[in-house]
Every structure is written in structure tokens, then in C-alpha cells.
């Protein structure tokens, strides 16, 4: 029977082909066929198109070719822990996540020292609020968290705990709250080229200094409240919130100024107007498409975006696009040195440059998950974080990758 | 119903057009609202003329971001062109490779289209970009692929998917066990006529489904993408269609050709007959 069906199928194919016309005078336009494939035609348009398509060989071939080309572009199916961007999460899927989130938040608060008596006894210098908020004055904690500008200085940094920081970033990003600035944007404000996640924050920490709370507080900080008494914050949380309120330093004062401010100041300094792109937190959260991320770095100001977009800010304030060679959405970019930089994005997209961003080369990585974060500490050393919280590290410029071990 | 003019359309749907204009980001490329609205109107004009009440829905289907970028490129905005190149140059190269399967020729095809899209024409003072033919009804990516394929078909030799079967008379000989060559030819002719007649009378949607599967050799998944259905659903549709077609063929043979049940079985018993005779002639390109 199956063989009969196959033979009948051949006969059908032959007869259909014989009935097809090579092409007709009323062939639809290219855009109509493209819209047909994209399914953006109305029902009436599709129904009116079908009789022609049923008899036109050329239009059928074009439709078939468009489908094949679009299928060739789709990445291979990979196991992604979590829903694809844009998918709606139904409520019952979050039912199991709610207690898990609560447990994570509690664990995080414990770790930050909220419940730790020993840590509460000390007032780390890094958490002290500045005496008076002056927009042009760089607060102590920004200078403290400032990454050394030379790779050599970075080597003096203390032990790296990138995977913890990376997971905390992901946890913080998942925590509910009001809209916050971009995580990568905020993280860069603390130290754009931090080794691992925020190695500089951990670097030679003062006794009792707590870098993770600074990061988490920044992320969880609400919109700046009215001016408060900075001289005597009541609680540690107030100090954290107070520090979060301090505006970023001027771009010329600290290389690790916040992205938005640095970009605007750099642009204003040369009299240009920067492209205004919305900066929103959320590109690390599930279900949200990639947004651009701006990174002040040793190689200047860079940003990445959708469809493989990589741009560098020029002195006149314009953003110049660099060829990335990929079409995947890019989520993060960093430069360890003026020459060596990394960019990461959708479905394992990983790019590296060794000429200051003029050319970007794809780097193989043993994962097809979305890479949402990248940090680098040297020419050959970098770490990436996937959307599901996995961290991968390389010490040979991307030739091999491993999972950093817990210390 | 008289067709609307652009001015009437612009006034009547201005609020919606302004929202689409903002969403498109066309202002980044120095595209005005009126230019944007005019191109959108051209894109939906034909459908809007047929179904004026569908204009809001038609506007909602427009790919406004792509349209804004294309307009910026068509108007010669260099930043728009840079953005387009960074986002779509590789798409064009990959599509060209998928069409031509040869690197050098693919590059040449893609670069040639890029030139047309940029609108370089040394013979005319006015820049004329191919982007003027894009109205946002489809995604820019799909449109680029379609234009590229059409350019390939028009400018290069046509690639036929039909592979001529070898002329081998030996294949047409009857297999051992058949009654006679004369009976086989008669059955072949009846079956061929029945299939042709039944196919001709099929509704366009069903004929198109069979064409996609048997002639264009698309996969179930690809066909499902066109109709928004799962490949399993398409498979069921095809199976149901095959059964329906077979019943119609049997009915045709019974009513039109006056064949008995035994003869109908012989008609459809491909194993015992040299059906390849008919297929050779049927499958060769016209």
C-alpha cells in the first residue's frame, strides 16, 4: 500500500507539473509573495492569491525557495533552559518558581549580611555615603570600585568569584521591582572591565566590605527619592540606597562612569548629539528581546544591539557601525585592553576583536544558549554567562572553555 | 465603493499613522511622516481598495521598523545605509549562497543587488533605489531574499528542479506477471486521464497543497509555515487528500471509463504494471 501511495504520488506530481503554467501575466509582486511567506497577508488576500499560486510554476518555485532560505537561517534546535525570548509565560509555569524565588531572595539577603550579626557590626568604607551629593564629584565607592586602567593593575585584584556574582546578577535581574537601568549598564558603572563579574569590587576589600550588596542594591534601588539627610543614614540599607542615588561621575573624571552619562557627556564635549536609544533593564530577564548595552572601556564607548549590531562612538558623537559578521542579537560587549574585546549574544554568538574593534571574529563556544554577559581581564582571559546562569571561562583567547570551579 | 485618495487616507488614519511612524523610528533616518504614510498607503492600496474596512488591520500588519529603515536608505540617508549593511549584508550573502551554491557567484549576485539597493546609477542624475519597491507588507529579510531570487532567475540561467529521467526503453518493458502490454497501456491511459481530471477539479487550496508537497518538494514543516499549522496537521491534511483523490480516481474510472472493480484494482496496482512509461513522459520538463 505504501509503495502504491508512492507511485500514485509520482503520478500526481507529474500531472500537477504538467498542469502548471511557467508563469503568468498576473503574477503577484515580489513583496506580495514575501508577505505570503511571512503570513502578513489578510485572509482575503491569501484566498485570492491561491488560485494563481495553484497554477503558476514560477510563483510556487519562489515560495518554495523563500521557505528553504528562511529555514536555512534558523539555528539548530538546542536545549535552552528557559523559554525563548518573546514567549509568554503562563501563570501556572511560575507557580513552582514563586517559592524558589522567595528562597533565593532570602538566601541572598542572608548573604548580604542583612541577617548576619558580624557584618552588621562593621561599617565598611565602601558603603559609606558621600557627605554631599555633587554631580561632578566622584563618590568614594565609584573610585574604589573603579577598575584599574591597565591590565597589570587588574592582576593585583583579589580572588575572583565570578560565578557567584554572575548568578547574583541573574537573581537580581529576576527579582521584581520597578524599572531599573540596564544591568550591564549598571555593572559597567562599577567597573566596566571587571574580571569575572565584579572582581574589582572584591579586590582587596576592606574588612567587611560587601561588593555584592552594592551591586544588588543598585539594581534593586527604586527611583531616586527626594533629597534625604545624607549625613546620618539610619540603616545600612539607607546607606546602600543613598549611594545608589548618587549620580555618576563625569566621563572625564572616571573612565567607568555610567554609560548614559558618559555617552552624553562625551557627545556634549564635542558639540555633537548622540543617538538617543532607550536604556532599559530587562534584556537579561526572560521573555524580553535584547536591548543595546553601552560599555565605556579602554577602547572607547561601544554598544551592541539587534541583528549583530556593534557600534563605536566617535569623537563627534556619532555611532559608527562595525561589521560583526553575525545576524544574532548581541547583548553585551567588553574590552579588556584597547585592542582586545568581546561581544556576546543570542544562541551562543561570541565575537572577539584584537584590533580595537575594527574586525570581529566568531569564536566557537560549547553552548548554544544565549550569552548575556561577558567580562574580560586580559588579552586571552574572559568569562561569559548564559541566560540560565551558567558561566564559562577561557584563558586562551577562546580556544577552550571550562566552567570555573567554586572556591 | 469609490477608492480612497491618499489625502483622504492620511486624514482619516492620521493618528494611527503617527503611532506607526513613531514605532518605526523613521525620524532617525530623516524620513518625514508624509513620506512614511505615502509608502504605507502604496503598500496597502490594492488590498484597501478591495476591502476598505480592513485598512486599520492592514496598517497593523506593516513591518514599520523595516519600512522606516528602507525608506531612509531609499532617500539616501547614510546612517540608514550603514545600519542596513550591518544588519542585512550577511543575510544577503547567505541567501545568495543558498540560491547559487557557489561562493564567487553568490557574492557577485549579492553585491549586485546591494548596488541596486543603494541606487547607484551613473547614467541618471537622480538616485533610484530598489528600496522604493518595499512597502512594509513583509519583513525586509524575506523581501530581500525574494528580490535576490528573482534577480537570480532573471539574470542567470534558470535552475530547474526537474531532473530529466534517462531515456531507457528497457524500463518500459512489462514486468513478468502482467497480463499483456496492450492491457497495461490501456490501464495507464485510463489512470493518467483519471488523475489529470481529478486534479483539475480540485479546489485551489488542495491543489496548492499537493503542488507544494509533490512538485516543489517542500517539507511538511515548510508547508505548515505557510498556513500557520503544525506539520502533523499538514500530514493529516495530505493523507486525507490522498485518500479523497484515490476515491475520486476510482469513481472516475468506474463512471467515466466503465471499468469493473477488478480492472480498477489493476489500474491502481502499480507493482504489476510498467507505470514508469507514463511517469517518464509526465515528469520530463515541458
A190-206 pLDDT, tens per residue? 444 444 444 444 444 44
Longest CA pairwise span in chain A (Å): 89
Average pLDDT over residues B104-130: 80
Measured distance CA(B173)–CA(B168) in Å, rounded? 10
HSE (side-chain half, CA atoms, 13 Å) at A256: 27
Q: Is A223 near chain B, with CB under 8 Å?
A: no
The answer on B252 and B129 residing in a single domain is: no
Question: For helices B231-255 and B261-268, what crossing angle results, to 10°?
Answer: 130
Domain count for chain B = 2
pLDDT tier for residue B188 given thresholds of 50, 70 and 90? confident
B164 assigned to some structural domain: no
The answer on B131 and B47 residing in a single domain is: yes
B161 assigned to some structural domain: no
Mean pLDDT over the full length of chain B? 82
Please identify, among B155, B184, B212, the residue that sits at the C-terminal boundary of a domain: B155
The answer on B87 and B181 residing in a single domain is: no
* A382-386 β-sheet, strand order: A371-376, A382-386, A391-394
Q: Is A29 near chain B, with CB under 8 Å?
A: yes
Collect all residues of chain B within an 8 Å Cβ-Cβ radius of residue A7: 270, 275
Residues with Cβ within 8 Å of residue A390, at least 6 apart in sequence: A367, A369, A403
Mean pLDDT over the full length of chain A? 66
DSSP 8-class letter at A397: T
DSSP 8-class letter at A389: S
* Residue B189: CATH number of its domain: 1.20.140
B89 assigned to some structural domain: yes
Measured distance CA(B163)–CA(B186) in Å, rounded? 27
The answer on B256 and B117 residing in a single domain is: no
B163 assigned to some structural domain: no
| A286-332 pLDDT tens trace | 444 444 556 567 778 888 988 888 988 888 777 888 888 888 889 99
pLDDT tier for residue A165 given thresholds of 50, 70 and 90? low
The answer on B141 and B19 residing in a single domain is: yes
The percentage of residues in chain B with a pLDDT greater than 90, rounded to a whole number, is 44
Residue listed under C-alpha cell 523595516: B66
Could you say which of B47, B87, B226 has the minimum Cβ distance to residue A308? Answer: B87
The answer on B238 and B194 residing in a single domain is: yes
Measured distance CA(A212)–CA(A256) in Å, rounded? 18
The answer on B114 and B179 residing in a single domain is: no
User: According to CATH, where is 2.130.10.10 located in chain A?
Assistant: 259-394
B28 assigned to some structural domain: yes
CB atoms within 10 A of CB A294: 26
Average pLDDT over residues A70-89: 57
pLDDT tier for residue A402 given thresholds of 50, 70 and 90? confident
Reduced to 3 states (helix: H, G, I; strand: E, B; else coil), residue B186 is: helix
The answer on B40 and B90 residing in a single domain is: yes
pLDDT tier for residue A8 given thresholds of 50, 70 and 90? confident
Q: What is the pLDDT of residue B54?
A: 84
**Of residues A236 and A19, more confidently modeled:** A19
B160 assigned to some structural domain: no
Does the global pTM surpass 0.80? no
Which CATH fold topology does A259-394 show? Answer: Methylamine Dehydrogenase; Chain H (2.130.10)
Nearest to B286 by CA among A55, A20, A59: A20
Residue B284 has pLDDT above 90, yes or no: no
Residue listed under C-alpha cell 572591565: A193
The answer on B239 and B114 residing in a single domain is: no
Q: Could you list the residue range(s) of the whole structural domain that residue B68 is in?
A: 6-155
Residue A399 has pLDDT above 50, yes or no: yes
Measured distance CA(A50)–CA(A43) in Å, rounded? 11
The answer on B148 and B34 residing in a single domain is: yes
The answer on B230 and B129 residing in a single domain is: no
Q: Do B270 and A7 touch (CB under 8 A)?
A: yes
Q: Do A66 and B146 touch (CB under 8 A)?
A: yes
Q: Do A30 and B50 touch (CB under 8 A)?
A: no
Q: Number of helices (H) and strands (E), helices first, in chain A?
A: 14, 11
Q: According to the per-residue pLDDT averaged within each range, which of A77-86, A93-102, A257-266, A362-371 is highest? A: A362-371
Q: Check: CB of residue A172 under 8 Å from CB of residue A285.
A: no
Please identify, among B155, B183, B211, the residue that sits at the C-terminal boundary of a domain: B155
The percentage of residues in chain A with a pLDDT greater than 90, rounded to a whole number, is 13
A71: nearest CA partner in chain B: B222
Residue A340 has pLDDT above 80, yes or no: yes
The answer on B187 and B150 residing in a single domain is: no
Q: Check: CB of residue A340 under 8 Å from CB of residue A302.
A: no
Amino acid at each position: 500500500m505504501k509503495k502504491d501511495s508512492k507511485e500514485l504520488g509520482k503520478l500526481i506530481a507529474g500531472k500537477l507539473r504538467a498542469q502548471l503554467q511557467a508563469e503568468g501575466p498576473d503574477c503577484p509582486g515580489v513583496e506580495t509573495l514575501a508577505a505570503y511567506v511571512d503570513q502578513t497577508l489578510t485572509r482575503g488576500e491569501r484566498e485570492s492569491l491561491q488560485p494563481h499560486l495553484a497554477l503558476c510554476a514560477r510563483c510556487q518555485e519562489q515560495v518554495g525557495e523563500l521557505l528553504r532560505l528562511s529555514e536555512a537561517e534558523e539555528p539548530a534546535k538546542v536545549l535552552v533552559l528557559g523559554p525563548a525570548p518573546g514567549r509568554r509565560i503562563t501563570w501556572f509555569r511560575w507557580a513552582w518558581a514563586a517559592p524558589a524565588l522567595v528562597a533565593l531572595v532570602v538566601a541572598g539577603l542572608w548573604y548580604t549580611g542583612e541577617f548576619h550579626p558580624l557584618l552588621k557590626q562593621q561599617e565598611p568604607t565602601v558603603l559609606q555615603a558621600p557627605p554631599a551629593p555633587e554631580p561632578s564629584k566622584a563618590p568614594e565607592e565609584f573610585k574604589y570600585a573603579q577598575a584599574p586602567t591597565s591590565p597589570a593593575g587588574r592582576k593585583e585584584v583579589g580572588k575572583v568569584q565570578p560565578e557567584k556574582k554572575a548568578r547574583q546578577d541573574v537573581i537580581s535581574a529576576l527579582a521584581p521591582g520597578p524599572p531599573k537601568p540596564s544591568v550591564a549598564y549598571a555593572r559597567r558603572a562599577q567597573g566596566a572591565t571587571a574580571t569575572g563579574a565584579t572582581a574589582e569590587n572584591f579586590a582587596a576589600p576592606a574588612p567587611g566590605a560587601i561588593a555584592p550588596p552594592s551591586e544588588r542594591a543598585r539594581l534593586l534601588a527604586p527611583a531616586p527619592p527626594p533629597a534625604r539627610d545624607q549625613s546620618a543614614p539610619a540603616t545600612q540599607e539607607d546607606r546602600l540606597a543613598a549611594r545608589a542615588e548618587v549620580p555618576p561621575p563625569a566621563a572625564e573624571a572616571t573612565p567607568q562612569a555610567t554609560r548614559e552619562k558618559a555617552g552624553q557627556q562625551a557627545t556634549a564635549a564635542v558639540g555633537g548629539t548622540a543617538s538617543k536609544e532607550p536604556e532599559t533593564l530587562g534584556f537579561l530577564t526572560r521573555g524580553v528581546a535584547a536591548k543595546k548595552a553601552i560599555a565605556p572601556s579602554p577602547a572607547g564607548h561601544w554598544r551592541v544591539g539587534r541583528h549583530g549590531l556593534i557600534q563605536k562612538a566617535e569623537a563627534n558623537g556619532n555611532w559608527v557601525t562595525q561589521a560583526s559578521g553575525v545576524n544574532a542579537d548581541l547583548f553585551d560587549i567588553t574590552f579588556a585592553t584597547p585592542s582586545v574585546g568581546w561581544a556576546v549574544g543570542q544562541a551562543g554568538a561570541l565575537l572577539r576583536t584584537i584590533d580595537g574593534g575594527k574586525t570581529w571574529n566568531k569564536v566557537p563556544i560549547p553552548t548554544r544558549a544565549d550569552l548575556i554577559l561577558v567580562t574580560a581581564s586580559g588579552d586571552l582571559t574572559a568569562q561569559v554567562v548564559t541566560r540560565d546562569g551558567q558561566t564559562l571561562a577561557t584563558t586562551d583567547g577562546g580556544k577552550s572553555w571550562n566552567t570555573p570551579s567554586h572556591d | 465603493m469609490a477608492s480612497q485618495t491618499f489625502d483622504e487616507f492620511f486624514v482619516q488614519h492620521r493618528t494611527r499613522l503617527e503611532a506607526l511612524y513613531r514605532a518605526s523610528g523613521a525620524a532617525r533616518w530623516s524620513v518625514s511622516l508624509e513620506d512614511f504614510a505615502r509608502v504605507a498607503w502604496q503598500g496597502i492600496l490594492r488590498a484597501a481598495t478591495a476591502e476598505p474596512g480592513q485598512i486599520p488591520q492592514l496598517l497593523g500588519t506593516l513591518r514599520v521598523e523595516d519600512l522606516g529603515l528602507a525608506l531612509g536608505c531609499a532617500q539616501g540617508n547614510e546612517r540608514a545605509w550603514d545600519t542596513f549593511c550591518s544588519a542585512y549584508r550577511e543575510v544577503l550573502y547567505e541567501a545568495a549562497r543558498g540560491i547559487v551554491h557557489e561562493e564567487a557567484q553568490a557574492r557577485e549576485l549579492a553585491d549586485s543587488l546591494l548596488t541596486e539597493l543603494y541606487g547607484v546609477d551613473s547614467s541618471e542624475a537622480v538616485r533610484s533605489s530598489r528600496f522604493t519597491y518595499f512597502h512594509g507588507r513583509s519583513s525586509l529579510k524575506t523581501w530581500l531574499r525574494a528580490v535576490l531570487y528573482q534577480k537570480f532567475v532573471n539574470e542567470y540561467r534558470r535552475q530547474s528542479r526537474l531532473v530529466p529521467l534517462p531515456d531507457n526503453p528497457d524500463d518500459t518493458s512489462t514486468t513478468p506477471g502482467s497480463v499483456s502490454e496492450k492491457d497495461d497501456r490501456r490501464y495507464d491511459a485510463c489512470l493518467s486521464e483519471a488523475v489529470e481530471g481529478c486534479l483539475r477539479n480540485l479546489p485551489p487550496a488542495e491543489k496548492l497543497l499537493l503542488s507544494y508537497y509533490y512538485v516543489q518538494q517542500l517539507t511538511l514543516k515548510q508547508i505548515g509555515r505557510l498556513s500557520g499549522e503544525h506539520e502533523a496537521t499538514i500530514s493529516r491534511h495530505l493523507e486525507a487528500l490522498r485518500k479523497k483523490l484515490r476515491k475520486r480516481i476510482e469513481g472516475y474510472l468506474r463512471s467515466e471509463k466503465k471499468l469493473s472493480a477488478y480492472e480498477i484494482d489493476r489500474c491502481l496496482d502499480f507493482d504489476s504494471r510498467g507505470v514508469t512509461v507514463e511517469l517518464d513522459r509526465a515528469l520530463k520538463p515541458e
